[in-house]
Structure 1
Amino acid sequence: MPIPLPGIRAVIATAAAWLALSQGALAQQPFPAPYRPAAAAPRPVTATPKAAAARALRGGAACHGGMSFDRFLAELKQKAAAAGVSQRAIAEASPGMVYDQGIVNRDRGQRVFGQPFTEFAGRMAAVYRMQQGQQRIRTYQAAFARAEKEYGVPPAVIAAFWGLESDFGADMGNLPTLRSLVSLAYDCRRSEMFENETIAALKIIDRGDLSPDEMVGSWAGELGQTQFLPTRYFNYAVDYDGDGRRDLLHSPADVIGSTANYIANGLKWRRGEPWLQEVRVPQNSPSGFPWDQADLTIQLPRSKWAALGVTYPDGRALPNDDMPASLLLPMGRTGPAFLAYANFAAYTEWNNSLIYSTTAGYLATRIAGAAPMRRPTAPVAQLPLNELRELQKLLVHAGFNVGKVDGVMGQQSRSAVKAMQIRFGLPADSWPTAELLAKMRGPAAASEAAAAAALR
């Protein structure tokens, strides 16, 4: 049996460290082999609460009016009580509700890597994970069948998230959840969000699903084998094994039912419809393929994609029907191509990283029996990290909002790239290229960019 690789969080931790050391172009290369273990857990603060709060204030608690952590925590407990949490649950949780600057440092220092989709999917949707997903479906056949009947979510979809998030429970994190939540709630970056997550965690304790000591997970407070934040846990966890508890850390049946419930009712899954299918796009169409139509915001009937020459990977024709689909090119026109259906929105809602969501959808198709995706006939050129940052800066100068200038081409950056490709008369496939960067660096780039901004 293959040795399981770390779950998604361990890989992200490894990739972040690799990026930090790689200085530009090396950041785009594959992870070093073998995999390194995830970073060690940060040490809890051992100084007095007042000293910890003083350090926290230096990190910036201006959003709380400069109040001490102790006072902030007292007010948060009052909010929890007002939301219906019992004093018993608050008292049980209180020993674990301590500030940890190490958690805040992790949150502020996290980086999303810009690895190409084929590299990321090759690791995270590896054959061993596909096989383990299929094995879990056989082992827990009754729970999967019940979940599909009740919620309409196919077993492969549930199993793919289960495998990506924790390697089927092998890698759920090792940090006390309450400590993480209150530390992030006191910090100003996402304070309101984590106040709500802390209250939800207390409600989970109050409901009897988990004890405070059992609440151990990722540094960001996610819990269980499919890594639910406490609000998601409280709202969507179900007791599928009938023991009276909703236990997403230890009960596979509860994990399966709860994940299906969230996908169906939280992410609005459409029963009986596909989510992602690999396709082949014509590269040498006589009339030129309309690459600007390859966008998740654009849906065309499958009959229209078929008329444009899009086929299944083996050359078979697409169905000549009206089912709407978007053409997804995660690495531009020379990389893999997929039709993304309405259900693909569940993946982008689960995690808005295009690389993650596409990998999760692709892994689900593999678990369901699809063939491996076709590899590009030639390597897809990818700009090094320093040039991706430069391109983002030029896009910002042209008036586009690309989010954080970090070299990671998220949806905002891809949309800006597409707009400039159209302006310069390049194939508008949203993939950043050296040709586009050269044109934006050129002497006429300023006037071209200004004209493009005026047209938006």
Structure 2
Amino acid sequence: MRSFVCGVALAIAGLSSPASAQPVSAAPQARPNVAAAKPTASSGSRGAACHNGQSFDQFLAGLKQQAVAAGVSQRAVAAASPWLVYDPKIVNRDRGQRVFGQLFTEFSRRMAADYRMQNGQLKIKQHAAAFARAEKEFGVPPAVIAAFWALESDFGAQMGNLPTLPSLVSLAYDCRRSKMFQGETIAALKIIDRGDLSPEEMIGSWAGELGQTQFLPTHYFNYAVDYDGDGHRNLLRSPDDVIGSTANYIANGLKWRRGEPWLQEVKVSADVPWDQADLTIQLPRSKWAQFGVTYPDGRPLPNDSMPASLLLPMGRFGPAFLAYANFAAYTEWNNSLIYSTTAGYLATRIAGAAPMRRPSAQIAQLPFNELKEMQQLLTRAGFNVGKIDGIMGQQSRSAVKTMQLKYGLPADSWPTAELLTQLRAGAR
């Protein structure tokens, strides 16, 4: 849904609303506080370089013309205009975000807590007809939908409390991701034009995401469905619409494969070739079984040809999973490995899986400044690790594995103090 640029309403401080630490009840979903969200007009302090020095008002006039050219009615543009104002606080928040610095075990313990599993199972019972319809139409299991619903908003309890349109248009004027947010602003206007939501109802996260599974406006416009039959696609207040729309997006936007698994906890042996533990490498389950990978209780894996990747989110001493083709839907929803693995794991728990095995000993994680230093040293060594931000994404992990192989270290992609020492010595 958002590939890390905006964020997850519950999961990440700095991207959207932080997680509530308390269970949510099965009470009806809260309505947005429209009165508290009235925007305050402001203009950009200076012309943005990426817009040829245009002032915000000049930029906005051009964006409205683009919206009309894209099919948005003048009526919808006029209705939204009082909300299309510049908010520098949003831009500053976007530039200052820091995300996913926790260990996977810490993050998953908090975000995939038992109460979320239990509430997910409860929601599946409460809305059994909508979940059954969604699974029949789109092939997405109820537990998968419920896990995203839980993580993104605690089933509607934490959707954010900021007006969406000022956030979108402010980020559209900012040069960091201007093109993307211009498109998101136009999509929000299309949602208004279609009659799904009014500008006043568009209340959500600071990064412009909407609804109980935190859709960006483009995904809202393209994948929201009217599952309760009231003539509107309302992802803020209609659980049925949330269920059907989320299933539609997972199936058709993220290419979910009907009837196939997504994630399975496993136990690894010391005989596993650690360099094969990589999401870019798929081997048959029979091959993983030959390497000594079993189910957590020691039972053997099926001796079949189903392809899977071995996922070690904390290296060879941490939890281990087989990630199947459908796990790609999770990394596409949000490309943080910590978030995507937690979401997949929570879905297995809602579906009835046992809790994961915890590491027998504490696993050390380098502090933030040393992770950034490692990324800098890897970049100096010729690797493309993406943004140097202290977040060990797939590019950073692949570079770590390559250097572990070079220095004769176990190549499990986990950044360690030993590897950092070797990189420092090699950079002298």
> Same fold judged by TM-score > 0.5?
yes
2:173 to 186, 191, 198: 186
Q: In the alignment, is residue 342 of structure 1 matched against residue 325 of structure 2?
A: yes
2:40 and 2:78 map into 1 onto residues whose CA distance is 21
Is residue 330–residue 336 contact of structure 1 (8 Å, CA) maintained in 2? yes
Q: In the alignment, is residue 195 of structure 1 matched against residue 178 of structure 2?
A: no
Percent identity at matched positions? 78
Counterpart for residue 26 of structure 2 = none
Counterpart for residue 251 of structure 1 = 238
Q: Whose helix fraction is larger, Structure 1's or Structure 2's?
A: 1
Tell me, what secondary structure is at the counterpart of 1:12? coil
Q: Deviation at 1:435?
A: 1.2
2:193 to 187, 206, 213: 206
Is residue 37–residue 203 contact of structure 2 (8 Å, CA) maintained in 1? no
Counterpart for residue 260 of structure 2 = 273
Q: In the alignment, is residue 125 of structure 1 matched against residue 112 of structure 2?
A: yes
Aligned 1:3-402 pairs, distance under 5 A: 9-13=9-13, 46=40, 49=42, 52-53=43-44, 55-57=45-47, 61-283=48-270, 285=271, 289-402=272-385
Q: Deviation at 1:17?
A: 12
Is residue 377–residue 423 contact of structure 2 (8 Å, CA) maintained in 1? yes
Is residue 44–residue 102 contact of structure 1 (8 Å, CA) maintained in 2? no
Q: Runs (4+) of structure 1 moved beyond 4 Å?
A: 14-18, 42-47
Gaps of 5+ in 1: 1-6, 19-30, 36-41, 448-456
Deviations 1:82-131 (A, max 9, x none): 11111111111111111111111111111113110000000000000000
Tell me, what secondary structure is at the counterpart of 2:322? strand
Is residue 263–residue 324 contact of structure 2 (8 Å, CA) maintained in 1? yes
Counterpart for residue 29 of structure 2 = none
1:145 and 1:265 map into 2 onto residues whose CA distance is 17
Is residue 327–residue 337 contact of structure 1 (8 Å, CA) maintained in 2? yes
Deviations 1:345-399 (A, max 9, x none): 0000000000000000000000000000000111112112222122112111111
Is residue 45–residue 101 contact of structure 1 (8 Å, CA) maintained in 2? no
Distance change >3 Å, CA 377–CA 16, structure 1 → 2: farther
Tell me, what secondary structure is at the counterpart of 2:259? coil
1:86 and 1:326 map into 2 onto residues whose CA distance is 48
Deviations 1:12-42 (A, max 9, x none): 2279999xxxxxxxxxxxx9x999xxxxxx9
Is residue 284–residue 305 contact of structure 2 (8 Å, CA) maintained in 1? yes
Q: TM-score, normalised by structure 2?
A: 0.92
Counterpart for residue 4 of structure 1 = none
Is residue 10–residue 154 contact of structure 2 (8 Å, CA) maintained in 1? no
Provide the alpha-carbon RMSD of the alignment. Answer: 2.2
Q: Which has the higher contact order (CA 8 A, sep 6+)?
A: 2
Amino acid at match of 1:13: A
Q: How many residues align?
A: 409
Gaps of 5+ in 2: 1-6, 24-35
Distance change >3 Å, CA 261–CA 409, structure 1 → 2: same
Amino acid at match of 1:280: K
Tell me, what secondary structure is at the counterpart of 1:264? helix
Q: TM-score, normalised by structure 1?
A: 0.86
